[in-house]
Amino acid sequence: MRARRVTLSATLLLLAILGLAPIVVMFARSLSVDGAFSFENYRHLLATGRSWQLLSNSIGLALATTLISTLVGLPLGLLVAKTDLPLRRVFVLLFALPLVIPPYITAVSWVDMLSPHGLASNSFSEATSRKLSGLLFGFPGCVLVLASTFMPAVMLATMTFTRTINPRLEEAARLSARPLRVLRGIVVPLIRPGVLLAATLVFLLSLGEFGVPIFLRYQVFAVESFTQFTVSYNFAAATASAVPLALLTFVVLGVEWFVLHEKIQALQPTGQGGDTYVIPLRSNRVWLFALVSVLCALVVITPLFSLVMQAGSWQTYLRALRVVSDSLMRSVFLAAVGATALTALGFFVGYMIHTRAFSIWRAVDAGTVLLFALPGTVIGMGLIALWNHPETNLIYATPLIILLGYLAQYTALTGRVTVAGLTFIPASMEEAAASAGASWPRRIGAIVLPLVKNALVAGWLIAYIFCLRDTGITMLVYPPGYDTLPVRIFTLMANGAPSLIAAACVLMIAATVLPLIGVALLMRTQRR
Amino acid sequence: MRKLVIAVTAALIAAAALSLPGCFSKGRQSVVVYVSEDQVFSEPILKDFERETGITVKPVFDTEEAKSTGVMNRLLAEKNNPQADVYWANEPIRAEVLKQENVAAPYQSPSAEGILAEFKDPQGFWTGFSARARLLIVNQSVTDKPKSITAYGDPGFNGKTVIANPLFGTTTTEIAALFILWGDEKAKTFLTDMKGNNVKIATSNGESADFVAAGQFAFSLVDSDDAANRIKQGKPVEMIYPDQGDNEVGCFIVPNAVVLIKNGPHPEAAKKLIDYLLSAETERKLALSDAAQIPLHQGVETPAIVRKIETIKTMKTDYAAVARKMREIEPLLKQWVGL
């Protein structure tokens, strides 16, 4: 038991140093004006009309994104999971693509398409083209990009949670009800907690999103925090700007915990494998297929096509490779190392939460999720405040600072995936091994790890994607000569050739998607 | 599975070896430079320096989203723990701020000989090179072309002019320079007249230039590289250097500025890089590139679109005073913009 306590205590300590300490340092700075304790930064924040405008913009953007993502993602998820829609597996893969692509790249692609000199400008009159461009740069454009990015999360959640429904229930209902009524009366109510959980995640991700609003010039608190630091060099005001987001996140997570947590726990796979009830679409097949195809063309194919067209010939890709190859390799390396560290840390955090090893397990869970939902720029500023000292240059002046940032922000992802994986392991297995005298490290190595292997691989992939696409933290803290590809794409945007930027974005997408395809192929081979 | 793990690990080690600077270059001299000039223009110069001297350059570039002040603020944050050796600013105000904040160190580069004194800090805390001019980009359809920045208040241009947000970038700098040159009253009147004439506020100089190129507005005050790029793209615009008459104030010049960072880790390599940046050859490259910047050494080769500094009537500017004035007028400008 000693090894277990020491390991999990060390995990707690690491989390406190990595995640909590930067935020505490930032918060302490925001309460200081000219060295004296003061609420001046918060008084100023509350006194200006701009703050309320920013809050309204942030909430409005997050709500609109969540609403559209849910209204589209839920029916789409039901269509591909519960019906005989043609090519539904292909649709799932295609619709999931925007979720793994960094959202600001989707924004770049829409700008390439709809700007006054964009690819589609010849298809519209000049006035229409200007109007479309005007809409893109602002609230509608941000909603379009974020909803197309996060909608797949709701779709995938819907698909996942429909598998938790016992097909016998649906079959019984079908004896006296039409398929649509079964969906409305049985399926949707049963998966509602899962869909609401996905919607909450979309709301929080949209609330903390920084890359898209800053690129499409829409003022929200996440952007304000970044500009307060980078433009005005005001640590305290930057932190104060982040506090409303943190409070809002805290409230949303609190509501999620009290309203959804128990219900989500109750949603477990039926254990009946692929035995799910499928609704035949019959005469509706054609028009529903057409509708889904149009949606897919709009939110997936169009942005990708726009990037590929803007990049043009293969020579552009060669030029882009010459310009960004160092950054690309650094990104892949740092994301891979970050994902590995996150998988390890997430495993112990997840284990701690699942086994309720400490009385503060709820606080640990909420704390990691809160860090995940905070804008990356806030964590970046906290890291600078904490580690920017001559004594800690081993961290501050090396890529370790980026890795610490990843660990601070993304542990919730791997932690939660581990919890999900551990849920499927009966506690009796570990207990039996303990009764037989197996030590804790041996139980972990011989029983737990092999059984959660798939969950850990999934966690690694999710972490890899998030580390690879990170801009908020990396842009603020990357050491000299260590820029990553997302940062380089941002710096190239100042007067860089659009074709070069588009080609760099395509390379970024390839770096994100290729490992996913590789792992998927490997897992398929292993299954055979 | 084991083979895959080995392959992935080998690939990662290879990626680390190729991408992490310093991993396999022990003993090689290096220099750390923070850069506010656009990466597309500055990076080729830094690569040339690496090639010619064998000194590895480790850069940190700014983003447009940070309004090119991100790295300057990073330098301020690192004042007690300097990581950078050199700061390449895209205007002298940021360099002046670093001097005032005691982050800069003095260095009189031999390459700076021949650069006019008005573009250098007298104590050598920063030195200007390769400049942009603040000029008017005018749509060719405009018959009565503006000759002065005061045309912003001309009723004939009511609702037909655009200017980049004066809270950021070179627009702020020029307005602060006008406050010093004209005095507060005249400068405030200029701003009031401009607003009364329904000027449109754009997010950047680039966007202003695009508006004029698209014919949405008659003219805009922008940086010379923004105008030169639109002309190179074949847009129906021309550039006018404002206030060139005998009794007029002249054209505001915004040079790049290079700063030696106090207590930087590689002072000798830093001086070599500064000498290189201030050379006539670097100015020639920046003039011939898409940056279209005006060399401050006389007699440097330039393309037709870039005027030589000796042919421009320049605005007399005390950049140190401008830096101080910018902070003073920030509330006024915020009010003017409507924040």
The Cα B93–Cα B326 span in angstroms is 9
How far, in Å, CA of A399 to CA of A387, rounded?
12
Q: Could you tell me which chain B residue has the CA closest to the CA of A481? A: B58
Task: Kindly state whether A496 is in contact with chain B, defined as any CB-CB distance less than 8 angstroms.
Answer: yes
How confident is the model at residue B10, as a pLDDT? 62
The answer, yes or no, to whether ipTM is higher than 0.90 is: no
Closest CA to A142 of A218, A67, A226: A218
Mean pLDDT, chain A, rounded, equals 87
| CB B239, CB B245: distance < 8 Å | no
User: Three-class SS string for chain B?
Assistant: CHHHHHHHHHHHHHHHHHHCCCCCCCCCCEEEEEECCCHHHHHHHHHHHHHHHCCEEEEEECCHHHCCCHHHHHHHHCCCCCCCCEEEECCHHHHHHHHHCCCEECCCCHHHCCCCHHHECCCCCCEEEEEEEEEEEEECCCCCCCCCHHHHHCHHHCCCEEEECCCCHHHHHHHHHHHHHHCHHHHHHHHHHHHHCCCEEECCHHHHHHHHHCCCCCEEEEEHHHHHHHHHCCCCEEEECCCCCCCCCCECEEEEEEEEECCCCCHHHHHHHHHHHCCHHHHHHHHHCCCCCECCCCCCCCCCCCCCHHHCCECCCCHHHHHHHHHHHHHHHHHHHCC
Question: In 10 A of CB A147, how many CB atoms?
Answer: 24
CA atoms within 13 A on the CB side of B200: 19
B39 touches chain A (CB under 8 A): yes
Domain B26-131+254-309 sits in CATH 3.40.190.10: yes
Cα B68 from Cα B88, distance rounded (Å): 11
Nearest alpha carbon to residue A58 among A168, A258, A166, A218:
A218
Q: Check: CB of residue A53 under 8 Å from CB of residue A219.
A: yes
Helix (H) or strand (E) segment spanning residue A33? strand A32-33
- The mean-pLDDT minimum among A173-177, A335-339, B22-26, B106-110 falls in B22-26
The alpha helices in A16-47, defined as continuous H runs, are 21-30, 40-47
Query: What confidence category does residue B73 fall into, taking pLDDT thresholds of 50, 70 and 90?
Result: confident
| Residue to substitute from A128, A217, A232, A333, interface B, most B β-carbons within 10 A | A333
- Specify the 3-state DSSP secondary structure of A32: strand
Residue type, A203: F
Contact predicate B29/B55, CB 8 Å = yes
Instruction: Give contacts of A 62-121 with B, CB under 8 A.
Output: 116
Burial of residue B28, with CB atoms counted within 10 A of its CB: 0-12 exposed, 13-18 middle, 19 or more buried? exposed
Contacts of A522 in chain B (CB under 8 A): 1, 4
Query: If you average pLDDT over residues A328-347, what whole number do you get?
Result: 95
Please check whether residue B69 is in contact with residue A231, taking contact to mean a CB–CB distance below 8 angstroms.
Answer: yes
Per-residue pLDDT of B127-163, as tens digits, reads: 999 999 999 999 999 999 999 999 999 999 999 999 9
The more confidently predicted of residues B11 and A288 is A288
Q: CA-nearest residue of chain B to A390? A: B81
Start-to-end C-alpha separation, chain B: 59
Q: Distance between CA A92 and CA B96 in Å, rounded?
A: 56
User: Nearest CA to CA, how far is A152 from chain B (Å)?
Assistant: 28
Q: Looking at the predicted structure, is the pLDDT value of residue A286 above 60? A: yes
Average the pLDDT over each of A350-354, A472-476, B203-207, B278-282 and give the range with the smallest value.
B203-207
Per cent of chain A over pLDDT 90 is 38
Of A201-215, B19-33, B123-137, the range with the highest mean pLDDT is B123-137
Radius of gyration of the CA atoms of chain B, in A: 22
Dig out the tokens for B81 from the structure.
């723990």
Q: Any idea of the CA torsion for B183, B188, B194, B198, to the nearest 10 degrees?
A: 170
User: Which residues on adjacent β-strands are paired with residue B127?
Assistant: B120, B258
Give the count of beta carbons closer than 10 Å to the beta carbon of residue A436: 8
pLDDT of residue A261 exceeding 90, the answer is no
What pLDDT, on the 0 to 100 scale, is given for residue A434?
87
Segment A359-369 mean pLDDT: 89
Q: Give the phi and the psi of residue B189 in degrees, each rounded to 5.
A: -60, -40
Sequence ranges of chain B with CATH classification 3.40.190.10: 26-131+254-309, 132-252+324-337
Q: What percent of chain A has pLDDT over 70?
A: 95
| pLDDT tens-digit readout, A71-84 | 999 999 999 998 99
Q: Judge whether residue B24 has pLDDT over 50.
A: no
What is the average pLDDT value for chain B, to the nearest integer?
89
Q: Are B73 and A492 in contact (CB < 8 Å)?
A: no
For A57-82, what is the HEC assignment?
HHHHHHHHHHHHHHHHHHHHHHHHHH
Question: CA of A491 to nearest chain B CA: how many angstroms apart?
Answer: 5
Choice among A261-265, A294-298, A430-434, B216-220 with the minimum mean pLDDT: A261-265
Residue A387: per-residue pLDDT: 94
Please give, rounded to a whole number of angstroms, the shortest distance from the CA of B245 to a CA of chain A. 33
A232 or A385: whose pLDDT is higher? A385
Tokens matching residue B245 = 């008459």
The kind and range of the H/E element at A36 are: strand A36-37
Say yes or no to pLDDT of B23 above 50: no
pLDDT at B15: 56
Percent of chain B with pLDDT over 90: 68
Domains of chain A: 1-31+312-528 (1.10.3720.10), 39-310 (1.10.3720.10)
Q: Decide: helix, strand or coil at residue A120.
A: coil
**Pairwise CA distance, residues B35 & B87, whole Å:** 6
The first and second tokens of residue A22, run together, are 């930067």
Note the CATH number of domain B132-252+324-337: 3.40.190.10
| pLDDT per residue as tens digits for the range B162-187 | 999 888 788 989 999 999 999 999 99
pLDDT on residue B286 = 96
Cα–Cα distance for residue pair B271/A358, rounded to 1 Å: 57
Does position A527 have pLDDT exceeding 70, yes or no? Answer: no
Is pLDDT at B283 greater than 60 in this prediction?
yes
Q: Say whether A396 and B81 touch across the interface (CB within 8 A).
A: yes
Is the whole model's pTM more than 0.80, yes or no? Answer: yes
